[in-house]
Structure 1
Amino acid sequence: MTDRSFTTIENQWITLKDGTRLAARIWMPDNAENDPVPAVFEFLPYRKRDGTCARDESTYPAFAAAGIAGVRVDIRGSGESDGVIDGEYTPLELANACELIEWIAAQKWSNGSVGMMGISWGGFNCLQVAALRPTALKAVISIASTVDRYNDDIHYKNGTHLSAQLSWAATMLAYQSRSPDPELTGNRWKDMWMERLEAEPFFLEEWLQHQRRDDFWKHGSIGDNFGDVEIPALVIAGWADGYRNTPLKAVEGLGPKSKAIIGPWVHKYPHFAWPKPRADFLGEAIRWWNRWLRGEENGAESLPQVRAYIMDAIKPAARRDFDPGFWIAKDRWTSPEKQHFHVNADGALASGAGRGVGGEAFLRSPLDTGTSSGEFFTLKPDAEMAVDQRGDDAGSLVFETAELTGDLDCLGMPVVRLTLSCQAELANLCARIVDVHPDGSAQRVSFGVLNLAHRNSNEHPEPLVPGRKTEITLVLDACGYRFAKGHKIRLSLSTSYWPMILPPPTDAGVTIDVASIDVALPKLGTAERIAMKEPENPSPLPTYIEHHAGATRRAVTRELSHARTDYLIHEDTGLHEHPQTGLSTRQLREELWSISDNDPTSMTGRSVWTCDMSRPGWSVRTVSMAKISCTKTDWVLSASVLAYEGHDQIFEKTWEKSVPRDMM
C-alpha cells in the first residue's frame, strides 16, 4: 500500500453514556468516510497533550500513512478528560474502554474493526479488555505488560513488597495532580483541575490493603483464565525491564493465537528502545493490524510463536547502549529442557542433578545488600539497570562453576530449589544467576525473590515454623542469555535485596542445607537463527524545543558513623516546549531510600515530584510527596499535594495512614 495522506485531530471529545467527556487525539487517514479504515485504540492516564506526545508522534503517523486510524484517549481524570481516576484497571476503566471501542466501530470512517495497543498501563488494559470480548476488538499488541497483577507488576513479587510500589504511587499522584491544558478545555480548566486535586486517590493506600493475592489482584490478571482471550495477541517485552516474564507466559497460556517478541530493551517501544539493537516495531505492528483488522493475507498468523534476542556474555557497565547477541525463533514454544547444577565437594556448582555435597550454611545478609539491583522497571540504559554484582555478592552466599568449557545458551525461567530453616516466622530470600567474566566482573542474568511465608501460596501464606527445615522452590525471572566459554556461572543467595525489596519486620537470617541446592537453567534447545529488521528511522522520536537540559543521577552513600545507607534518585526531564502547541513542561523527581544496619524497621522511602506546565502568560506547578516507613507491625504512610497557579499557592492536601503488615 502506498502512503496515504492523513490529518491529525488534536482534540476530539467523546462523550460516554454516563455523560463523562473524554479527550482523544486522532490520526485520521484522509477520505476515510468514503474509504473506511480500521482503527488502533490506546487508553492511558499519561496525558496525550504533553505526557506521551513524543512517542505517539513516532508511532501513529506511520499507522495513518498505512491507512490505519490511531485513536489515543486519556482515561477520565487525566489530561483533558473529565472526572477523577478511580484506580488501576478498575471495572469502570475497562467498561469505558469497551464503550470507546463501540464508539470507534460505529463511526462513518471506521470499517468496524478495532485493535487495541499500549505499553505498560496500555499493555495491561488491552489484554484485560480483550478478556471482556467487545465485539469490534479483533486483535491486540501488548508491550511491557503482565498477565499476573500480583507477581509481575510494581506492587508485590512472590509476597515481597517492591519499593516501586511507593515510587509508582508517587508518580501517579504527580501525574493525576496536573492541570488540563486551557487551550483545549477553555475556561473549564481550573474547575476540572480543582476537582482532581480534591478527589484524586493516593493509590498506595489501597494497594497496601491487599498484601495477599486476593480478588483485588485477580481482577485483570488474565493468566488466571487465559481462555477468556479469544483474539490474536502480539506480546512484547525487553530483558532489561521488570515485565520480561509476560511474553513467554502469554504464549504458554494463549497458545498459537499469540506471538512473542523479546529484545534487550528497557521499558520502551522497540523502535526507539535501549539498549540496541532495536526492532522495526512499526513494520511488525502494521503487518499485524493489516492481517487482523482488514483481513490481508500476509502470513502474520504463521510467524514463529517466539522471537527472542539471546544476550551474549554482557559486560556490566554504567551505561549500555548496545548489547551483543543474536536473534532466534521458535515456531512453537514448549517447556525448555533444564541444565541442572548442584554443589560438589569443593563447594562449587557442578553440572548434574541430584543431591550435592555440603553441610549447613548460615546466611544473614547486610540489610543494604541489593544496591546494585537497579529499578524494577527501567526507562534508560544506565544505573536504572542492574550494574556490576560484585558489591551485592559480597553480602551473599555464593556458589559458582569452574570456567565453562563451552557456551551455554539459555531461554526461559531458571528454577532454584533448596532446603532451609529460620528461627523466625518471616524472612525473605533472593536468588540471582550471575555471569562471571574472566576479569571478575559480574552481570546479573536473572533473579527471583520470595517471602518465605508465601512459599506455597500467595493467597494463603503460612508463617515459617521456627527451626523446622522447609523445602523452597524459587522460580526466577525469564532470561535469554549465552554464558560464554571461559566464563563462570554464579548462584548468589541473599536475605536482603534493598531498596528494590523492602525488608521483613525481623532479620533472623536463614540456615541453608547446601547439599539440597539445585539450580536448573532453561536450555535454548532447537532454534533458528534469524535476522530481525531494525527501524528504517534510527531516531524516530520528534525533537522539541529545549529550554533547560535534563539530568539523571543515582548515588549510594554509607554514613559510617551512623551505620546508615542512603540510596538517592534524581530525575529531571528538563524544560521542553512542544513546537506546535507552545506548551512547556518539566518534571523533577527526587527520591531517597534509607536503612540502618541491623534494624529492618529503620527503612524509609520518600519520593517528591515537582511538575511544571507553562506557556506565555500562564503557568501552574504541583509538588507531590509520598513517604513510607514501618514498624514491626505496621506500614506507615504519608503524602501531600501542593498546587500553584503562577506564584500563588491555591491548594494543599495531605494523607496519613497506618496499615497493618500482613506476613511481610
Structure 2
Amino acid sequence: MKDLSKIICLLSVLTFVGCSKKEKDFEYTKVVSELELLRMQQMQRSSQLPQGDFATNRNGLPIAKEINPVVDGFCQMISDKNIENPFEVDKYFATEITKKDYAKYIETIQGLEDQCISSEVLLDKFPLLFVKYQLKSGKKLYGTYRVGENKKITSFYPFFNEGFEFDHKLIEMSDGKKISTTILSNHNGPTKTIFLKTPYFHTDLTSYYIWDAMNWVKNGYSFVIQSNRGSHASTGDFKWLHEKNIQDSKETIDWIAKQQFNNGEVTAYGTSYDGYNALAAAVGKPEALKSVIACSAPANAQTDSFTAGETIESWLIEYIAKRENSKPTSRFQEKMEYLNLHKDIGFDEYDNYLYGRDIADWQDLMDARKTGDLKSYWQSRSMLEGLSKVTIPVFHIAGVLDDQDSRDTILTHRYILENAQDSSNHRLYLHRYGHGCGNFLQEQIGTDFLNGDLDLMKQEYRDSAQGDSLIADLDESISEKTISLNVTTAQTGGAESEESVTINNRFELMGDKTALLSYEALEDMQINGVPEIELKVKSSLVKSNLSIYLIHLKDGNAQSPHNLTWGSSRSSFVLNEELEGIQTIKLTLPPMAFKVAKGDSIQIYVTTDVNDFLDIFMMNRAEYYTSDESAGYLEIMKGEGNTMLLPLEKIEEADAEEVVTEEVVDEDEDLEKPVLNI
C-alpha cells in the first residue's frame, strides 16, 4: 500500500494543487531510479539471447512505420492511463523479453500524472529508433527502441532529459560521408565534452552507453557518442583499426568545438575498440582535444589480440562483419572448419561464402596476403608512430585479470617511452580488474587527470594484488626477478638430445610439436605486472608461430594465470624466416597477477600445434619446406639462456593467503564486448 504522504502528493498532482517543487522533483527522481532498475533488468535478460542485433548502413531500413502504433501508443498510454491488451502488444513486441518490461515502464511513468503532447523521431535506422516525447509539464521523455529482424521490439529504454538535451545528427565528413552522432548537451553549458566513438552503439549495449553518458552529464560534462564510419547509421566502409578513423575523429572534435554546448575543451574516452578510437583522436591533433583516457585499447593491428604477429584469428572476419551486418552467421565455427578443409576455396572467397558479399576490410587483408606478407595491411592499421608525437595528456589503462587487450596497451606505452621526444604526458595504470577502466574514474588520479591537475601525478600507477588499493610506491613495492627455465620434452612430443629439445611444424611429421620449460619456486612470490620470456634457440621455421601455455601448478592442480596464455595465438612467438645460428627470441606476456607459493611450479609449454587462427601463409610455408627438407624445426637450447622475467610485488607480512583469484579459461567467453566503467 502506498504511504499516506505519497497518496496526498499524487492527489495534489491530479487536482493540480501544488505539492512543493522539492516534492515534485523527488517524484521525478524516484521514477528515474525505477526506470534505471528496469533498464538493468531488461539489459540482463536481453544479453542472454542470441546476438543477432547488428546492422549495416547498406540495409538499415526505416522502422518507425513498422512500429508506429507503439510509438504513438506510448504517448497515448501516458496520457490516457490505458495499457493495451496483450494481444495487441504481441503484435509489436518480442514478448519473451519486452512485454512485461513495457507495461512496467508505462506504469512507472504514469505515476507522475503527466500528459504526453507530441512525439518526434530523432533516429530511425534498423535496429534502432530514438523518439522524443514532449510532456505537458515541459519535461521531455526519450524512448530508445530496438527491434529484431522480424521488426518486433526487443528492448525499450525511456529516460527523462534530466540536466541535458538529447539529440541525434549526421555529421558530414570532408569526403562526403555522414557519421551518426548522438549528443547529450549539458543544461549548464557550455561545458567540457567527453567524446566516445564506437562500433558498438547499435548493439545490445545501446542503453548502457546512454546510461554511461548520463553519468558523465551528472558530473558536469556534455557527452557525444559517435558510431564508427561504416557502422550502423554511419555511411562508408567499416575498416578495423584503420587510420581513416583518425581524420573522422579530428573533424568531429573540430565540429564539437563550434557547438554552443562545448567550452572549447574535449576529452576522448573509451574502452577496447572505443579506446582505440580515443587514441586515434589524439593522433589527429584537433585543437580542442585536451586529454585522452584509453582503457584496454589496441593501437597496432600487428599486436592486437585478433592478429598477434602474422596470425589471423578466424573470429576476426566475424567480428568485422558483425560491426556491419544485421544477420548473425549461424554455425560460424563449423563453416570455417569446412572452408579450411576445402583447399579449392581461396581465403579471399571466405567473406562471400559466409556473408554473401565482399567485406572491404577482408579484401584489404587478402590483397596484402598476395604480396607474401601483411606489411601493407599493418601500415594502415598502426598508430604507434603518430602516438609517439602526441604531447597532450594520455592515460593508458589496462587490467591484469584476463584483459585481452592489455598486452597491446603495454606494448603501445613502451613504444612511446622508447621513441617519443617527449613522453612525459603518457601515463600508465594497471588495475586489478579485467577488460576496462577498472576504478580509474573513481580514484583520485582519475579526478585529477580530468581536471588537468597533473603536476603531482606519477608516470605509472598499479593496483596492489594483495588488496583493493593503489601501490603507494612502485619502486619500493615492485621488483624484478629473472628465473631460469629448465627445458625438457613434453608428454605430447619433442625430440630431446643432450644439447636441446627440438620441435617442428612440418605437415608430414605428426609428433614432436611441443616442448616444456619449467621452474620450481624457491620462495613465495606475488606476481603483479608484465612477465617476459626469453628462449635461446636455433630455428629454421618460416612464417610460423609458437604459442605458449603458461601454467601455475599448485598442489597438483593446473591453473592459467591469464586466458591469453592458454595456447592462444594472441600470445605467441613470431618467426617469419630462418635464424642464423643460435638466437634469443623474446615474448612479452599480458599483465597478470597471481601468487606462487614455495614449491609451486611455473610451466611453459611451447608448441607449433595451434589451431585457433587462419593459417593464411600455410601454402607458402609448405612450398618452402618441400624445397628444403632441413627447414621447419626449432631447437630450444639447454642450459642458460631460457629465462622468464617476473614482476614481483613485495608480499605483505600479514598476507598469508592468495588474494588475486585465478580462473580456469572459459574458451566460450565473449572477448569483444567493451565493458565501460564510470
With normalisation by structure 1, the TM-score equals: 0.57
Q: Which residue of 2 aligns with 1:217?
A: 378
Measured after TM superposition, the shift of residue 572 of structure 1 is: 14
Q: Which residue of 2 aligns with 1:430?
A: 547
Q: Which residue of 2 aligns with 1:69?
A: 222
Q: Which of the numbers 241, 248, 270 marks the counterpart of 2:410? A: 248
Change (3 A) 1:524 1:306: farther
Q: Which residue of 2 aligns with 1:207?
A: 365
Change (3 A) 1:250 1:205: closer
Tell me if 1:472 matches 2:634: no
Please give the alpha-carbon distance, in whole angstroms, between the structure 2 residues aligned to 1:213 and 1:142: 26
Q: Which of the numbers 464, 467, 482 marks the counterpart of 1:339? A: 482
State how 1:100-119 maps to structure 2 within 5 Å: 100-119=252-271
Measured after TM superposition, the shift of residue 135 of structure 1 is: 0.7
Q: CA RMSD in A?
A: 4.2
Query: Is the 2:481–2:648 contact (alpha carbons within 8 Å) kept by the matching residues of 1?
Result: no
Measured after TM superposition, the shift of residue 40 of structure 1 is: 0.9
Query: Is the 1:431–1:494 contact (alpha carbons within 8 Å) kept by the matching residues of 2?
Result: yes
Change (3 A) 1:108 1:129: same
State how 1:161-560 maps to structure 2 within 5 Å: 161-163=311-313, 166-178=314-326, 201-210=359-368, 212=373, 214-219=375-380, 221-224=382-385, 226-239=387-400, 240-252=402-414, 253-254=416-417, 255-267=423-435, 269-270=436-437, 279=439, 281=441, 287=447, 290-292=450-452, 299-309=453-463, 327-328=470-471, 337-343=480-486, 358-364=498-504, 396-422=514-540, 425-445=542-562, 447=565, 448-453=571-576, 463-464=577-578, 469-486=581-598, 487-500=600-613, 502=615, 504-505=618-619, 506=622, 508-515=632-639, 517-524=641-648
Query: Is the 2:398–2:429 contact (alpha carbons within 8 Å) kept by the matching residues of 1?
Result: yes
Amino acid at match of 1:61: M
Query: Is the 2:489–2:515 contact (alpha carbons within 8 Å) kept by the matching residues of 1?
Result: no
Measured after TM superposition, the shift of residue 107 of structure 1 is: 0.9
- Alignment deviations for residues 294-315 of structure 1 (CA, whole Å, 9 cap, x no partner): xxxxx45533333334657xxx
- 1:404 aligns to what SS in structure 2? coil
Measured after TM superposition, the shift of residue 442 of structure 1 is: 3.0
Amino acid at match of 2:240: E
State how 1:83-162 maps to structure 2 within 5 Å: 83-155=235-307, 157-159=308-310, 161-162=311-312
Change (3 A) 1:5 1:305: farther
Identity of aligned residues (%): 15
Please give the alpha-carbon distance, in whole angstroms, between the structure 1 residues aligned to 2:523 and 2:220: 53
Measured after TM superposition, the shift of residue 114 of structure 1 is: 0.9
Measured after TM superposition, the shift of residue 118 of structure 1 is: 1.6
Please give the alpha-carbon distance, in whole angstroms, between the structure 1 residues aligned to 2:424 and 2:475: 8
Measured after TM superposition, the shift of residue 106 of structure 1 is: 0.7
Please give the alpha-carbon distance, in whole angstroms, between the structure 2 residues aligned to 1:499 and 1:484: 29
- Alignment deviations for residues 93-124 of structure 1 (CA, whole Å, 9 cap, x no partner): 32221111011011112100111112222211
- 2:388 aligns to what SS in structure 1? helix
Please give the alpha-carbon distance, in whole angstroms, between the structure 2 residues aligned to 1:347 and 1:520: 18
Query: Is the 2:268–2:292 contact (alpha carbons within 8 Å) kept by the matching residues of 1?
Result: yes
Measured after TM superposition, the shift of residue 19 of structure 1 is: 4.4
Query: Is the 1:84–1:199 contact (alpha carbons within 8 Å) kept by the matching residues of 2?
Result: no
Amino acid at match of 1:206: D
Please give the alpha-carbon distance, in whole angstroms, between the structure 2 residues aligned to 1:208 and 1:437: 44
Please give the alpha-carbon distance, in whole angstroms, between the structure 1 residues aligned to 2:433 and 2:649: 23
Measured after TM superposition, the shift of residue 173 of structure 1 is: 1.6
Where does structure 1 lack aligned partners over 5 or more consecutive residues?
Answer: 180-196, 271-277, 293-298, 313-323, 349-356, 368-393, 454-462, 530-552, 556-567, 574-664
Please give the alpha-carbon distance, in whole angstroms, between the structure 1 residues aligned to 2:241 and 2:502: 43
Please give the alpha-carbon distance, in whole angstroms, between the structure 2 residues aligned to 1:52 and 1:502: 33
Amino acid at match of 1:64: V
Please give the alpha-carbon distance, in whole angstroms, between the structure 1 residues aligned to 2:293 and 2:525: 34
Aligned length: 439
Measured after TM superposition, the shift of residue 138 of structure 1 is: 0.6
Measured after TM superposition, the shift of residue 202 of structure 1 is: 4.2
Tell me if 1:30 matches 2:187: yes
Larger Rg: 2
Change (3 A) 1:554 1:142: closer
- 1:328 aligns to what SS in structure 2? coil
Please give the alpha-carbon distance, in whole angstroms, between the structure 2 residues aligned to 1:167 and 1:473: 28
- 1:401 aligns to what SS in structure 2? strand
Measured after TM superposition, the shift of residue 233 of structure 1 is: 0.7
Measured after TM superposition, the shift of residue 72 of structure 1 is: 0.3
- 1:158 aligns to what SS in structure 2? coil
Measured after TM superposition, the shift of residue 206 of structure 1 is: 1.3
Change (3 A) 1:97 1:495: same
Query: Is the 1:328–1:528 contact (alpha carbons within 8 Å) kept by the matching residues of 2?
Result: no
Change (3 A) 1:77 1:449: closer
Please give the alpha-carbon distance, in whole angstroms, between the structure 1 residues aligned to 2:549 and 2:447: 38
Please give the alpha-carbon distance, in whole angstroms, between the structure 1 residues aligned to 2:506 and 2:439: 41
Query: Is the 2:551–2:558 contact (alpha carbons within 8 Å) kept by the matching residues of 1?
Result: no
Please give the alpha-carbon distance, in whole angstroms, between the structure 2 residues aligned to 1:514 and 1:125: 45
- 2:642 aligns to what SS in structure 1? strand
Of 101-110 and 331-340, more deviation after overlay is shown by 331-340
Query: Is the 1:419–1:516 contact (alpha carbons within 8 Å) kept by the matching residues of 2?
Result: no
Measured after TM superposition, the shift of residue 235 of structure 1 is: 1.4
- 2:301 aligns to what SS in structure 1? coil
Please give the alpha-carbon distance, in whole angstroms, between the structure 2 residues aligned to 1:334 and 1:223: 30
Please give the alpha-carbon distance, in whole angstroms, between the structure 1 residues aligned to 2:584 and 2:398: 28
Please give the alpha-carbon distance, in whole angstroms, between the structure 2 residues aligned to 1:177 and 1:138: 35
Query: Is the 1:144–1:237 contact (alpha carbons within 8 Å) kept by the matching residues of 2?
Result: yes
- Alignment deviations for residues 197-235 of structure 1 (CA, whole Å, 9 cap, x no partner): 998734222123335463542345333354311111111
Change (3 A) 1:406 1:173: closer
Query: Is the 2:399–2:591 contact (alpha carbons within 8 Å) kept by the matching residues of 1?
Result: no
Measured after TM superposition, the shift of residue 176 of structure 1 is: 1.1
Amino acid at match of 2:586: L
Please give the alpha-carbon distance, in whole angstroms, between the structure 1 residues aligned to 2:191 and 2:672: 40
Tell me if 1:15 matches 2:183: no
Q: Which of the numbers 40, 54, 72 marks the counterpart of 2:207? A: 54
Measured after TM superposition, the shift of residue 411 of structure 1 is: 2.3
Please give the alpha-carbon distance, in whole angstroms, between the structure 2 residues aligned to 1:413 and 1:123: 24
Query: Is the 1:147–1:246 contact (alpha carbons within 8 Å) kept by the matching residues of 2?
Result: yes
- 1:23 aligns to what SS in structure 2? strand
Query: Is the 1:329–1:527 contact (alpha carbons within 8 Å) kept by the matching residues of 2?
Result: no
- 1:511 aligns to what SS in structure 2? strand
- 1:523 aligns to what SS in structure 2? strand
Please give the alpha-carbon distance, in whole angstroms, between the structure 2 residues aligned to 1:158 and 1:327: 33
- Alignment deviations for residues 387-410 of structure 1 (CA, whole Å, 9 cap, x no partner): xxxxxxx97322322343322534
Change (3 A) 1:44 1:338: same
Measured after TM superposition, the shift of residue 358 of structure 1 is: 4.7
Query: Is the 1:495–1:509 contact (alpha carbons within 8 Å) kept by the matching residues of 2?
Result: no
**Higher relative strand content:** 1
Amino acid at match of 1:162: I
Q: Which residue of 1 aligns with 2:661?
A: none
Please give the alpha-carbon distance, in whole angstroms, between the structure 2 residues aligned to 1:365 and 1:79: 42
- Alignment deviations for residues 310-352 of structure 1 (CA, whole Å, 9 cap, x no partner): 657xxxxxxxxxxx887535568999744131439x999xxxx
